[in-house]
Amino acid sequence: MNETIIERYTKEVKSESLGCTIIDPYIILNTNDAILELGSGNGNFAARLSDTYDSSIRITGVDLTPAMVLKANMVNKRDNISYMCSDIVHIPLADSGFNVIVSNCVINHIADKEAVYREIYRLLKNDGYFLVGDIVSVGWLPDEVRNDPSAIADCYGGAIPEDIYLESIKKAGFNTIEIISRRQYEKNGFPIESLLIKGVKK
């Protein structure tokens, strides 16, 4: 599965944005905050965030695709941004290191979404929050779609119903969850919703 995702996103290395929603207006940062981006791509979001705030904030980007990390490192001229290649279920970073964790249309690629949110919970400081843009299905997708690596890499095959998705977040330890925005659309004939979700670690 990872090979299919890497192949797809290696082809997208020059794309400006691969997200499914807009996160920027909802991010609130303080001086010296540490931010982690899951699925940092070619670094456009981190660069934009760094330019919006002063250089006291520290941004770490994680991406599965080596070509994306290489591109991000090539264009990054900022001392407060760093990138690393890793999956998002087992990230080699210390516990409770981040004030904010963001991700945009990435977690749907992972079958065990609860495992991703457990990792987010582990990495967040107390009272830290996540902002995640991701997709959910309107009802269950057919098995042939859910088991198709190409459909999963194309940002719809990994979608699960909203109630199941939100339950996976709660099981990971988050009790304070808010859906900030939603948008419904069709992907290859299947109804999909993109959500922007906020959760706070208490």
pLDDT-above-70 percentage for the chain: 91
Q: Is the full-model pTM beyond 0.85?
A: yes
3-state helix, strand, coil in the chain (%, to 5): 30, 30, 40
For the segment 8-36, what is each residue's pLDDT rounded down to a tens digit? 445 544 555 557 999 999 999 999 999 99
Q: Which domains are assigned to the chain?
A: 2-200 (3.40.50.150)
Task: Quote the pLDDT of residue 39.
Answer: 97
The answer to whether residues 130 and 100 touch, using CB atoms and an 8 Å cutoff, is: yes
For the segment 127-171, what is each residue's pLDDT rounded down to a tens digit? 999 999 999 999 999 999 999 999 999 999 999 999 999 999 999
Task: Quote the pLDDT of residue 77.
Answer: 87
Task: Quote the pLDDT of residue 19.
Answer: 76
Q: Quick one: residue 167, left, alpha or beta (phi over 0 = left, psi -120 to 50 = alpha)? A: alpha
The answer to whether residues 136 and 200 touch, using CB atoms and an 8 Å cutoff, is: no
Identity of the amino acid at 55: S
Task: Quote the pLDDT of residue 149.
Answer: 94
The CA distance from 193 to 133, in Å, is 10
